[in-house]
Amino acid sequence: MRTPIIAGNWKMHKTIAEAIALVREMRRELNEIEGVEKVLCPPFTALAAVAELIRTTQIKLGAQDMHWEDQGAFTGAISPLMLKELCQYVIIGHSERRQYFGETDEGVNRKVKAALKHGLTPIICVGENLAQNEAGQTEAIVSAQVRAALQGLTAAQVKSLVIAYEPIWAIGTGKPATGSGANAIIGQVVRGTVSSLFGESAAQALRIQYGGSVSPESIAEFMTQPEIDGALVGGASLSAAKFVAITRIAAQSKQQGAKNRT
């Protein structure tokens, strides 16, 4: 049984003071929710303050990106060595990084290897855009992204990863994918690709999230699906009430979904 994982990607939101206020507002309730791993991914500047606030809780910390080198002349970049002191997770290859910062599949693969080398768990983002979706290219695009991101890894490494399937047309639009639609891509394409490359036991161990307009209203539809192990939440993770509600409903509906299938 895979432990579900709900992560909040704050993107470029929240000053240090605002981050502290948001974490104080959700910390106690979030910490009390059992059966789900809880991860906050604030911007780099707020990582240290948030790390301190959640130090005595079960809540984990993630960064939103990193460089693949340990150190060097890379002005503006943050290395895995720097993150390792603060974080357990790092989001890699988010569609916004790919779209606005020229991130390539090759760069994603380098970052995944660097994260694993330093004991950080990557949350690798994949997903097709609207034009690709409408052209019927979803399977080919997503499968190629998974293949490229995992190139050169061992099956043991793959088991520890988290992949987030985030269809770009569902991000920030208020229009999430359907539960069954996301389940099909996650099961057949993401897990299927991992299975063909690294074997069924690796594919069954790795956790795969859905992301894109996840809200307290839509989370149950995803969590009751057998292949979906959690969510990467954007906008709704900036509200303490919404993020706590999403996490609570995720924990309940995962159990319910499992019960319904037995």
| Residues at the site binding ligand 13P, with contacts judged by CB under 6 A | 9, 94, 166, 171-172, 211-214, 232-236
Nearest CB to ligand 13P, comparing residues 2 and 175? 175
Nearest CB to ligand 13P, comparing residues 8 and 107? 8
The closest residue (CB) to ligand 13P is 234
Residue 49 carries which side chain, given as an amino acid letter?
A: A
Residue among 104, 81, 82 nearest 92 (CA): 104
* Rounded-to-integer distance, Cα 205 and Cα 153, Å: 15
Active site residues: 94, 166
* Rounded-to-integer distance, Cα 9 and Cα 65, Å: 11
Least separation in angstroms between CB 64 and ligand 13P: 9
Least separation in angstroms between CB 148 and ligand 13P: 19
Nearest CB to ligand 13P, comparing residues 14 and 198? 14
Nearest CB to ligand 13P, comparing residues 98 and 202? 98
Least separation in angstroms between CB 157 and ligand 13P: 23
Least separation in angstroms between CB 98 and ligand 13P: 12
Least separation in angstroms between CB 70 and ligand 13P: 26
* Rounded-to-integer distance, Cα 140 and Cα 96, Å: 20
Pairing label, strands 121-126, 207-211: unpaired
Nearest CB to ligand 13P, comparing residues 114 and 246? 246
